[in-house]
Amino acid sequence: MIISYNNNTRGEVIPLGNLLFSINTVMPLFLIMIIGWFLRRLGMITAEVVQKVNQIVFYLALPASMFLDLATADIREVFDAKFVLFAVGVTVVGFIVAWVLGELVLKDKSQVGAFVQGAFRSNYVFIGVALVKNVLQVDDVAVAQLVIAFVIPFYNVLSVLALTTRGVTKEKVTVSRLLKNIATNPLIISILIALPFSLLRVQFPFLVTKTLDYCGTIATPLALMMIGANFNFGNIKSRLGGTLLACAYKLVLQGLIFIPIAVKLGFGTQELLVLLVMLCSPTAANSYIMAKNMGGDSELASSIIVGTTLFSVVTLTAWIFVFRTVGIL
More confident residue, 184 or 17: 184
pLDDT of the residue at 63 = 87
80-121 pLDDT per residue, tens = 889 999 999 999 999 999 999 999 999 888 889 999 999 999
Q: Is the pLDDT of residue 14 over 60?
A: no
Q: Is the pLDDT of residue 223 over 90?
A: no
With bands split at pLDDT 50, 70 and 90, how would you rate the model's confidence at 138? low
Q: Is the pLDDT of residue 71 over 60?
A: yes
More confident residue, 193 or 230: 193
More confident residue, 93 or 175: 93
110-139 core/surface letters (b: 16 or more CB in 10 A; e: else): bbbbbbbbbbbbbbbbbbbbbbbbbbbeee
Residue range 209-227: mean pLDDT, rounded = 85
More confident residue, 142 or 79: 79
Q: Give the whole-angstrom CA distance, residue 260 versus residue 276.
A: 11
**Cα-Cα-Cα-Cα dihedral sign, residues 21, 24, 26, 27:** positive
More confident residue, 92 or 147: 92
pLDDT of the residue at 2 = 36
Q: Give the whole-angstrom CA distance, residue 321 versus residue 313.
A: 12
Q: Is the pLDDT of residue 16 over 70?
A: no
Compute the mean pLDDT over every residue in the chain, rounded to the nearest whole number: 82
Q: Is the pLDDT of residue 6 over 50?
A: no
- CA-CA distances (angstroms) from residue 32 to 70, 118, 125, 190, 310? 26, 19, 17, 26, 12
- CA-CA distances (angstroms) from residue 274 to 122, 170, 292? 12, 38, 29
Number of Cβ within a 10 Å radius of residue 291: 28
Report percent pLDDT > 90 for the chain. Answer: 24
More confident residue, 178 or 277: 277
Query: SS3 for 278?
Result: helix
